[in-house]
Amino acid sequence: MSNCSIVAVIGAPGRSRRLPWTIDIEDLYLKNLLVQGQHDVGEKRVDLEQINCPLLTVAADKDTICPPAAAVAINPLVGSKDEGSRGPWWPRERSRGKQSRQHAVPGPHHLDERENRMNLKELKIVVTGGAQGMGAHFATRLFEAGAQVAVGDVNEEGLKALPKGIHTRRLDVSKEDDIIGFVNWAFDAMGGLNGLINNAGILKDGLLVKKDKTTGQVVKMSLDQFNAVINVNLIGATLMVREVVAKMVEKDQGPGVIVNMSSIARHGNRGQSNYVSAKAALAANTVTWMKEFAPFRIRVGAIAPGMVETPMTKGMNQKALDGFIANIPVGRIGVPEDLWVAVKFVLECDYFNGRTIDVDGGMGF
């Protein structure tokens, strides 16, 4: 077991204290001690979540066993002698088929994991449906964090209200030509493209078949009503992924990241055949696209909100809304910031891929 002479930095950035201890990182990693939160270093007990060091950050790239705070810790020691290479402390490559959780080795397309790490400041990211609601919130948060942001929406008034500096252009995701033109424009406007928040969406709820209470007549959902939602929420979202990824691959923009907005409704919900079809497909294709785009170093994740306070839900019948909220275990409707926390996680965590995160306060339909 090699002994790695790192200098651990304890405490928050800016208030860090250098500790001249030697930590055997390989030992920590192989014995899965990182998950236990604390570890004896020298004669002192150290809270691993407070350790901000290059070796723990790199270790976190290999598996999810590292405490999240350590996994995302910004390394203040860039340039230190331990930062440049994995060094002798890194678990040696095991034969295929015998990889355990602790002994995972990089896949064939992984170069150096630090090359894949996303920093919000480095993002050149498209947000669809960003003129209002969650999309506008995500675009604003990204812009505040230093990202280049290009927002497309059919709502041109909403686009004008976004903070100055965010690139905006009318986009109807139900039109293929619009999407192609928008992606080319966004690439030029931002000087590159490495992210997409695939957020534009509409509702056109209705039962597939119902019987009119007064006349007894059987009423069917029209194909137009079904297709209107599929065209925006599924075909539009799929074409956005296709065009953005094609551009990233053509221009060798990796690492890249895509966040699809699915929904709790993807599991099935009365009155939402069209919406459910689209949101379930988006969650399933998050896995498909993760597999297809991994060779290009593009990750794909999805967020499944429950009930969030946006113009979309403001249009709902108040009684129905109150009924939903009464059944949310956290006791309130979600707000866009709740969802931003999840979006930010997907963007930044380079070990997150192909999964859908439910952010719904614990509610169920």
Provide the binding-site residues for ligand NAD, judged by CB under 6 A.
Answer: 128-129, 131-135, 153-155, 158, 171-174, 199-202, 232, 236, 261, 263, 305, 307-308, 310-313
Is residue 196 within 8 Å of residue 118, measured between CB atoms?
Answer: no
**At closest approach, how far in Å is the CB of 188 from ligand NAD?**
20
For the record, the structure tokens of 79 come out as 């340039």
Rounded Cα gap, residues 68 and 56, in angstroms: 11
Cβ proximity to ligand NAD, 82 vs 358, nearer residue: 358
The residue whose two tokens read 């930044």 is: 348
Beta bridge partners of 261: 303
φ, ψ of residue 111 to 5 degrees: the values are -95, -105
Residue 252 Cα distances to 26, 144, 218, 323, angstroms: 34, 26, 54, 49
**At closest approach, how far in Å is the CB of 215 from ligand NAD?**
33
Cβ proximity to ligand NAD, 55 vs 276, nearer residue: 276
**At closest approach, how far in Å is the CB of 236 from ligand NAD?**
6
**At closest approach, how far in Å is the CB of 323 from ligand NAD?**
14
Cβ proximity to ligand NAD, 129 vs 254, nearer residue: 129
**At closest approach, how far in Å is the CB of 310 from ligand NAD?**
3
351 is catalytic: no
Residue type (1 letter), 2: S
**HSE (CB half, 13 Å, CA atoms) of 88?**
6
Q: What is the DSSP letter of 353?
A: -
Rounded Cα gap, residues 13 and 190, in angstroms: 30
Q: How many residues would you count in the chain? A: 365
Phi/psi region, residue 266 (left: phi>0; alpha: psi -120 to 50; beta: rest), is alpha
**At closest approach, how far in Å is the CB of 126 from ligand NAD?**
11
Cβ proximity to ligand NAD, 194 vs 199, nearer residue: 199
Catalytic residue among 275, 289, 293, 340: 275
Q: How many C-beta atoms lie closer than 10 Å to residue 269's C-beta?
A: 15
Rounded Cα gap, residues 130 and 155, in angstroms: 9
Cβ proximity to ligand NAD, 171 vs 298, nearer residue: 171
Furthest-apart CA atoms within the chain: distance in Å: 83
Residue 136 Cα distances to 177, 214, 267, 308, angstroms: 23, 42, 26, 14
Cβ proximity to ligand NAD, 54 vs 305, nearer residue: 305
For the annotated catalytic residues, the residue numbers are 275
